[in-house]
Amino acid sequence: MTMKLKNFKTVWGHNGTIEEAIIMAKEAGFSGLEAPAKHDNPSHFPALEAALAKHNIEWIQEVCTAGSYVPRRRASVEEHLSDLESQIILGKSLKPKFVNVMGGCDAWPIQTSIDFFKAAMDIADKHGVLCSFETHRGRSFYCPWNTMAILEHLPDIKITCDFSHWVVVSERLMDSEWDAIELAAQHAHHIHSRVGYDQGPQVPHPAAPEYQAALESHQRCWEAIWSAQRDRGYLETTMTPEFGPDGYLHHLPFTNAPIADLWEINSWIGHTEQQHFEQWQQATKLVEVSHG
């Protein structure tokens, strides 16, 4: 079975308009945009709506519950769920491909997180959307071991795998935690292709030879996801290159000058992974033929 990889451009770190982001995505050969519907700027939603309609491009909705990327520490499960539902309702008219959710809280007991995700999945079903819940620091899926404990109780949940978070939280690459990678792959719906390393969530540049081991480790994890998705009958897989700002991008001291260009990095990882995906798919087909 032949699969297709689609890349999506994040608007995190994009300083231009939504339409400019879409144009950049299309010029780079990306299939769509990943962006929130909710925004502090009231002009954001109408601009998003108009740009998506004009360019007829796919959109993944981004949702953060109870705050921004890091949730409000004392927010209740009910507040998280209410926030999720209100954002799903806001974005429904724009027909997202699916909703990527940064949900829950890292400080919650395992059972509280399980209860939250069960209710969140019910909300998604109620509104006829697919939610994919991200492995993200500050959230319920912030580390491999909590994620495994939660997933074992939620056979139908779909997740977005950003393993760079797990790498920095556990202070090691994920090759030693392959049981967690294999379980996550069985639930994986979407990939955020940022490369982390043992002391940070984002290498300075994934093409740098000094970070080759980190890149290759993440690529092995992504291959595990592709294999699991193919076994589950996926005809396409999605990926958002998500190198970003906000303390992730390295800067020079004193001048605070960025050491690399974010869009160049994300374009590079997108094109590199397109080639990687095609090579992986061809190699696995050859193995299947030889075993046949």
Mean pLDDT of the chain: 96
Give the list of residues 6+ apart from residue 91 with CB closer than 8 angstroms, or none.
Answer: 37, 61, 63, 99
User: What is the reported pLDDT for 1?
Assistant: 75
Q: Which pLDDT score is estimated for 287?
A: 66
Helices marked H in the chain: 18-27, 44-55, 77-92, 110-127, 144-151, 163-170, 178-187, 212-231, 262-291
Question: What pLDDT was estimated at residue 78?
Answer: 98
Structural element, H or E, at residue 133: strand 131-134
Predicted model pTM: 0.96
d(CA 104, CA 224): 25
Domains and CATH numbers, the chain: 4-291 (3.20.20.150)
Tell me how far the alpha carbon of residue 270 is from its chain's centroid.
13
Looking at residue 290, what is its pLDDT? 58
pLDDT reported for residue 289: 56
- Sites in the chain below the pLDDT cut of 50: none
The pLDDT score that the predictor gives to residue 69 is: 83
DSSP string, 249-285: S-B-TTT--BSS-HHHHHHHHHHHHHHHHHHHHHHHH
pLDDT at 68: 87
